[in-house]
Chain A
Amino acid sequence: MNLILVSILTLVVIGALSAIILFFVSKKFHVFEDPRIDEVEAALPAANCGGCGFPGCRGFANACVKADTLDGLLCPVGGTETMEKVAEILGKTVVAAVPTVAVVRCGGTCDNRPRKNTYDGVSHCFIAHNLYSGETGCSWGCLGLGDCELSCKFDAIHVNPVTLIPEVDEDKCTSCGACVKACPKMLIELRKKGPKSRRIYVRCMSQDKGAIAKKACDVGCIGCSKCLNVCPHGAITITNNLAFIHDDKCKLCRKCVEVCPTNSIIELNFPPRKVKEEQVLTPKVE
């Protein structure tokens, strides 16, 4: 009986002492933080993806509180909705950002771009890229080893096992830019999502001359300039045998898609055309 009493008393005393010490220490070493940082952080999606350019959501919250205006600060995952909430908490204004999405600029599927050798190294795009130009005749195209898939925290990009080209799930893509950095061939671009998610882009990054590009891949851009000539808005430029559609000028009229001889220009999420069966384009996902 005595023993139990002594044990309980001892533990109570130890517990009380520890509590008092902890109380004083927490007061002495308390770090002052603007309470608004906590509020802003709570409004953020808590993905900690780094897409905003800051280390985690807390880093972004910190930057928002300390900044004078919210210009240049955008959470790509939360988008305009989240930025408006943040603006409300901080009493600042925010400009609506244009939604963007990741786009893979390579059409070199196994059908379009025949494989010439077998890669037997580590399945890592950066390592294969350092080693050689790839399993096909096009040294600019996708290696298909999935560094982009590994880098995505939102499960939004996957390498299609049949075509060996990555495909972006535009509902999940938050435009954080991780895949853009992960691709050693720099094939992924963040482009405007477009009205009704419609967009047009060139699915090629090859700077090889036309004949060489065509030999390596059926849908390679040969730099023939037909698209440039037909575009009524001056949205297309051609550099180093490669066409590029500027999405700030493109009005989605689709004239370039019709004239491209190698089918290298892709239109996404448009309603199917009425005629011209030989120009049937692959819908939705690329």
Chain B
Amino acid sequence: MKTFRIGGIHPAENKFSAGKKIIKANLPKQVAIPLAHYIGAPSLPIVAKGEFVKVGQLIGKANGFISANVHSSVSGKVNKIDVQLDATGYKRAAVFVEVNGDEWVETIDRSPEVKRECNLTKEEIIKKIAEAGIVGLGGATFPTHVKLSPPPGKKADVLIINAVECESYLTCDHQLMMEKGEEIMIGISILMKALDVKRAIVGIENNKKDAIALFHKLAKDFAGVEVMALKVQYPQGGEKQLIDATIGRQVPSGALPIEVGAVVQNVGTTYAVYEAVQKNKPLFERVITITGKSSKNPGNYLVRLGTMLSEVVDQAGGVPADTGKIVGGGPMMGRSLMTLDVPMAKGSAGVLFMQDTESVRNKTQNCIRCSKCVNVCPMGLEPYLLMNQSEREMWPEMEKDRVMDCIECGSCSYTCPSNRALLDYIRFGKSTVGGIIRSRQIKK
């Protein structure tokens, strides 16, 4: 069974919410829809205080090429446009809407039938995706229409669908695959058309055998779509690792996947593409997993954008009493949340309750040079060395030792027997070296 060739770890899966059917979260009383995204410029609001908006109405316009449209996820009156503390731990711009009913924009097709035919051209598809404000739902939230528009001279020859869900605890993608398999397949064929490729590979990790079987069956009706079961290993969901695992090509340092002719899309994003292109439904809701070892009711919930996580968590059985840390996302790369009163954003994939015993880090000790971090790094870096250099502020040396290649997967910190904060220092080095590189380019 294929997998990526360098490094990798095997954290405990803890998929407590596997198999739990997606529950539609209750409509909240008010939402704070974030205008800022993790990647790209924040969108510009086009509604004013007091205006009545409908579900699916455009409320924020993309500001530049690397930005995305934002649509209202509820119907109601715009309360204010102000800053709101979000999952990043900083206050950023959001549109506050007081929910009133559930009126949708008329152009959205709300019928449950699966629509197979798509007669749009490649350009029309990409335009619809851009208008629908679709961003990568795997967590990076990179605007999808940008990924589908390779720079001139570069062409993709294969589309890879990331159905790996390598992070522990999270099951939203898996459940989406089981419930909306055919729609996802149609989304894949739409993306293939948009990229003008004849071949698509759906990469699924081997711990989701039911999804593999289902997709194998569905793929028979879709030309060019191949389903590949992959050996379970973290971080297989990283796009560079996934491309290596599925087609054996390694994206060179500093380059994008398009360099090796591949484009990777998350399976959740693919479903959003289906909804946008076939049902005229922009992106304003997504599935997230609420889970944890002590969680009473771990499950997968369909939540409207801008809903405070505290409201969804209440529905899911509340915060367990022994919670020490709440993580937004998966345990390896998620952000610890300061509070649950943060709005759900497009990139939120889960809420994870960590017990107090496992929330505190163990004491850091000397590096014993065991080289386990070097063995597990999926990018072939030397984390122990990068941490040492970062502590001593040796920025040119870090650049030479390829710190910018780091994908921040956390495998090194996870493995280190001395509990060293490898990734913390490497991240610090990365941001400093990144700044130095940018200022160097500006000077040119």
Q: Judge whether A122 and B360 touch: CB under 8 Å.
A: no
The smallest C-beta distance from A153 to any residue of chain B, in angstroms, reads 15
Q: Judge whether B338 and A117 touch: CB under 8 Å.
A: yes
Closest chain A residue to B424, Cβ basis: A122
Interface string of B418-437 (1 = CB under 8 A from A): 00010011011001000000
* Residue from B85, B424, B431 with most neighbouring chain A CB atoms (10 Å): B424
**For the complex, is B115 an interface residue (Cβ under 8 Å from A)?**
no
Q: Judge whether B424 and A139 touch: CB under 8 Å.
A: no
Q: Judge whether B360 and A130 touch: CB under 8 Å.
A: no
User: Considering the chains assembled together, what is the distance between the CA atoms of A25 and B323 in angstroms?
Assistant: 72
Interface string of A102-146 (1 = CB under 8 A from B): 000000000000001100111010110011110000010000000
**B residues in contact with A124, CB < 8 Å:** 424, 428
Q: Judge whether B428 and A126 touch: CB under 8 Å.
A: yes
**B residues in contact with A116, CB < 8 Å:** 338-339
Q: Judge whether B421 and A121 touch: CB under 8 Å.
A: yes
* Residue from B336, B425, B427 with most neighbouring chain A CB atoms (10 Å): B336
Q: Judge whether B425 and A122 touch: CB under 8 Å.
A: yes
Q: Which of B88-96, B154-162, B275-283, B308-316 contacts A (4 or more CB under 8 A)?
A: B88-96
Partner of B90, one of A120, A126, A139: A139
On chain A, the number of residues with a Cβ less than 8 Å from chain B's Cβ atoms is 14
User: Considering the chains assembled together, what is the distance between the CA atoms of A120 and B359 in angstroms?
Assistant: 9
Q: Judge whether B427 and A127 touch: CB under 8 Å.
A: yes
Closest chain A residue to B427, Cβ basis: A130
| Chain B, 70-125, CB within 8 A of any chain A CB | 85, 88-91
**For the complex, is B400 an interface residue (Cβ under 8 Å from A)?**
no
**B residues in contact with A133, CB < 8 Å:** 85, 89-91, 338
| Chain B, 393-444, CB within 8 A of any chain A CB | 421, 424-425, 427-428, 431
The smallest C-beta distance from B281 to any residue of chain A, in angstroms, reads 33
User: Considering the chains assembled together, what is the distance between the CA atoms of A133 and B85 in angstroms?
Assistant: 10
**For the complex, is B361 an interface residue (Cβ under 8 Å from A)?**
yes
| Chain A, 197-239, CB within 8 A of any chain B CB | 208
**A residues in contact with B359, CB < 8 Å:** 120
Closest chain B residue to A131, Cβ basis: B89
**B residues in contact with A126, CB < 8 Å:** 428
Closest chain A residue to B425, Cβ basis: A122
Q: Judge whether A127 and B424 touch: CB under 8 Å.
A: yes
* Residue from A122, A131, A208 with most neighbouring chain B CB atoms (10 Å): A122
Q: Judge whether B428 and A127 touch: CB under 8 Å.
A: yes
Main secondary structure of the interface of A (DSSP, over half): loop
Partner of A127, one of B85, B360, B361, B425: B425
Partner of B431, one of A121, A122, A130, A208: A130
**B residues in contact with A208, CB < 8 Å:** 91
Q: Judge whether B360 and A121 touch: CB under 8 Å.
A: no
Interface size class of B (residues with CB under 8 A): 10 to 19
User: Considering the chains assembled together, what is the distance between the CA atoms of A137 and B90 in angstroms?
Assistant: 10
The smallest C-beta distance from B345 to any residue of chain A, in angstroms, reads 15
The smallest C-beta distance from B364 to any residue of chain A, in angstroms, reads 8
Q: Given that A121-B421, A139-B90 are known contacts, is A130 also in contact with B428, CB under 8 Å in the complex?
A: yes
Partner of A120, one of B85, B88, B360: B360
The smallest C-beta distance from A119 to any residue of chain B, in angstroms, reads 10
The smallest C-beta distance from B144 to any residue of chain A, in angstroms, reads 27
The smallest C-beta distance from B435 to any residue of chain A, in angstroms, reads 12
The smallest C-beta distance from A27 to any residue of chain B, in angstroms, reads 36
The smallest C-beta distance from B395 to any residue of chain A, in angstroms, reads 13
User: Considering the chains assembled together, what is the distance between the CA atoms of A122 and B423 in angstroms?
Assistant: 10
User: Considering the chains assembled together, what is the distance between the CA atoms of A208 and B90 in angstroms?
Assistant: 12
**A residues in contact with B339, CB < 8 Å:** 116-117
User: Considering the chains assembled together, what is the distance between the CA atoms of A201 and B249 in angstroms?
Assistant: 60
Partner of B361, one of A117, A120, A130, A131: A120
* Residue from A121, A126, A131, A208 with most neighbouring chain B CB atoms (10 Å): A131
Q: Given that A120-B360, A127-B427, A130-B431 are known contacts, is A139 also in contact with B91, CB under 8 Å in the complex?
A: yes
Q: Judge whether B360 and A132 touch: CB under 8 Å.
A: no
* Residue from B91, B338, B361, B427 with most neighbouring chain A CB atoms (10 Å): B338
Partner of A122, one of B91, B338, B421: B421
Interface string of B313-331 (1 = CB under 8 A from A): 0000000000000000000
**A residues in contact with B361, CB < 8 Å:** 120-121
Closest chain A residue to B421, Cβ basis: A122
The smallest C-beta distance from A89 to any residue of chain B, in angstroms, reads 35
The smallest C-beta distance from A124 to any residue of chain B, in angstroms, reads 7
Interface string of B258-270 (1 = CB under 8 A from A): 0000000000000
Closest chain B residue to A208, Cβ basis: B91
The smallest C-beta distance from B408 to any residue of chain A, in angstroms, reads 12
Closest chain B residue to A119, Cβ basis: B336
**A residues in contact with B335, CB < 8 Å:** 132
User: Considering the chains assembled together, what is the distance between the CA atoms of A208 and B335 in angstroms?
Assistant: 24
**A residues in contact with B431, CB < 8 Å:** 130
User: Considering the chains assembled together, what is the distance between the CA atoms of A239 and B90 in angstroms?
Assistant: 20
The smallest C-beta distance from B436 to any residue of chain A, in angstroms, reads 14
Q: Judge whether B428 and A132 touch: CB under 8 Å.
A: no
In the A-B complex, the 5 residue pairs with the smallest Cβ-Cβ separation, listed nearest first, are A132-B89, A122-B421, A122-B424, A133-B89, A133-B90
**Assuming A124-B428, A127-B425, A130-B427, what are 12 further A-B pairs, CB within 8 angstroms?**
A116-B338, A117-B339, A120-B359, A121-B361, A130-B428, A132-B88, A132-B89, A132-B336, A133-B89, A133-B90, A133-B91, A133-B338
Residues of B within 8 A of A (CB): 85, 88-91, 335-336, 338-339, 359-361, 421, 424-425, 427-428, 431
Can you identify 7 A-B contacts, CB atoms within 8 angstroms? Answer: A117-B338, A120-B360, A127-B424, A127-B427, A132-B88, A132-B90, A208-B91
